[in-house]
Structure 1
Amino acid sequence: MELNNASAEQLAQWEQQLAAEFDAIKAKTLSLDLTRGKPSSEQLTLSDSMDGILKGDYTTTDGVDCRNYGGLDGITEARAIGADILGVPVTNIMAGGNSSLTLMHQAMSVAHFFGLEGADSAWSKEETVKFLCPVPGYDRHYSVCEHLGIEMITVAMTSTGPDMDEVERLVAADKSIKGMWCVPKYSNPTGVVYSDETVKRIAGLGKIAAANFRVFWDNAYGVHDLSDKPVQLASIFDACVEAGTESSVIQFASTSKITFAGAGVAFMAASDANLKGFKQSLGFMTIGPDKINQLRHAKFFAPEGSLRAHMQKHAEIIKPRFASVLSHLEAAFGDNDLGEWESADGGYFISFDTKPGLAKEVVKMAGEAGVKLTPAGATFPYGNDPKDCNIRIAPTVPTEAQVDEAMKVFVTCVKLATVRQALAG
């Protein structure tokens, strides 16, 4: 379908055909959901053997009774899992509850209200606090900033990560910029893996930014590979050590999409100074995390190599769903300019761009046809996609057959919305 040279008569004919297809789809009264990147029931079942794995033994290898209070850092065995995922020394890891989002909110709140390196480093002491947000990005990151009243500034995502020329220019010129969100591997939603050069330049930001600047490095998909030969993400920890900027980056990860989404273990990796400052405030919030859940995770992943083997099982479940999405997109738009998309080698999402001005309409139409999509604009701060073009597709929860059905709907909606836009223009 080539719109650029199509006559008004041809466009009208296409509109009539696609409208008929759309009405036929609506008559099916479908109920499909591609909104959020949650594990499917098949994926969750992979971890069912954690149930009862402790067999009444609640003691860690260093003698801690996990049934009792205490242990703000988390148990050593769980911290070792986080160290493996994030590639940092165990001494620089905290293991928390089930949500890395909770740790991120807590860390940002401490940095904002109390300071990670003393009261004078608190962001709230300054009149304006800003954060850089590579776009398109993760809506829950933006929600944290909004909740704390932190102004968000967008920077473009490229094929190698955030536009670092722009990032460096902004942080050098404006000391009210106190940090940047990053999803460095299989970035949500584009699937981009940050290049080695980008990682190195992010590590160098601590030299030119405000002293209390912090990169929030949300490595949520660090082990969620779909390819047999995945691109390797360079170590931000090593890059910061080399640059002498260890405190400028705080890393996060969790097992939420590895084991049980509602009962995983979250991790935070940081410099000694950042950990000290964070724990001073954390001690007022909790006496310790769920160590029993941490211990059962440690038992589950005790055999060497079991985490990677477990993730391979996840990949085998997810791959066909991603393949279905990409197959439909390629068949419908591979030979035209009606849409563009990223072909992710891991993570949980596929990012699709309509022609400008159509994302909201496509999402609305899909909803009318029984397919729920993430709201258009969600991948931008304040829900404002200036081009109204980006749509995040999350294919993991539905079955492969349901993904196939949903993508037929999606493709029809994109085509019909685009033809109608051309007719109106």
Structure 2
Amino acid sequence: MTIAVFLLLLLGAVPISLVLALTAMWYIQASDNTVLFDSYPQQLFSAIESYGLLAIPLFMLAGELMNEGGLTRRLIALARILVGGFRGGLAYINLVANMMMAAIIGSAASQIAIMSRAMVPAMEQEGYDKPYSAAITAAGGLLSPIIPPSMLFVLFGVMAQVPIAEMFIAGLLPGLLLGASFFIVIALVGLIQQYPKGQWPSRRQAMHDALWGLPALSIPVIIIGGILWGIATPTESAALASLAALLMGRFVYGDLRLGQMPQVLKRTAVNAGLVIMLIAAAGVFGWVVIYEQLPQMAAEWIAALTADPFVFLLMVIGALLLVGMVIDGIAALILVVPILMPIAENQFAISPYQFGVVVCLTLVMGLLTPPVGAGLFIASSMTGAPPLKIFRALLPFLLATLVTLVLLAWLPWLTNGLIQR
């Protein structure tokens, strides 16, 4: 009956945070364990009582400040210097700029919204198909859960009780591998569709763009470098990145006006509040799941099917692809980690870093797959391209992502190698 209530609320378009909280309340009432209501507020609070979660609003603030302060535009110009002359040059620029932004924003949905506004009109002007332009931008959002910083990594680190900094390091090689696979897709599509050859900027223009782009490029360096060199925690790196974006946007580029700050802070507060509310509600739901011993029951069922860690991870990928199609990535992560993480570690001796990277990337694919596909609809609303046409253009990128996921499941050193060093 509890499952029926959960599905009824979910399919009734009730906000997912309320779905989780109300389902937990229904279970407590239906099971006649009303004494658990005494611990309900405590569980809500304890789910968000983590220093690491402070990184989420700070990374959101850094992304907002970069977009309003003109840093995003300078990063795109810098990407043109690196890849702009190849066939389909703007497609490569789009991807490289997305990789740079993934090292700052950490949110796939935010990245798709920002980069759709910045890149798709420019690609259209140079003769690119609008759905394809939107598809590349949406595919770039797949980089955000694994190229640090990543909000899903922050959340996974808190839930799995592993260092967030090491989760970020675990995502470096997978992020580069996924980016390389997308480069191959763009090259093949560019040859088949005969997209126009790009133009390298003149030496003078390249020098100008490099000079003005390097300050903006320092933001991902501050974030990743501070974590890798042990100078700052992920939360401190997010705070430093926000401060740097504010100072650059205001005093270096001059695009950020003080009058914009109230709106920037309001958007950050609203978006961060939605995420934190979801985490709190899912904490209560996870408490109920553990109380019912669902992880133990799932472990017994999976152990009867396979004893191979690789096969187990393939099963996880298949199951989470379906989950990600109907449930938001953050909510799905909170739902599945308490159930699957103990099985992965205890039953199959899988590293939490490998498991975390595989789970986070798989769930974010749900942003771009029907029937929910929030990323598809964000790209569509920002560009005017039909969601179904964007999805068709996305298929090669989704296939490349699946191949990457299989490699990550098969080769643990892709996620664990840098950490072990």
Taking structure 1 as the reference length, the TM-score comes to: 0.33
Structure with bigger helix share is: 2
- Give the number of the structure whose alpha-carbon radius of gyration is greater: 1
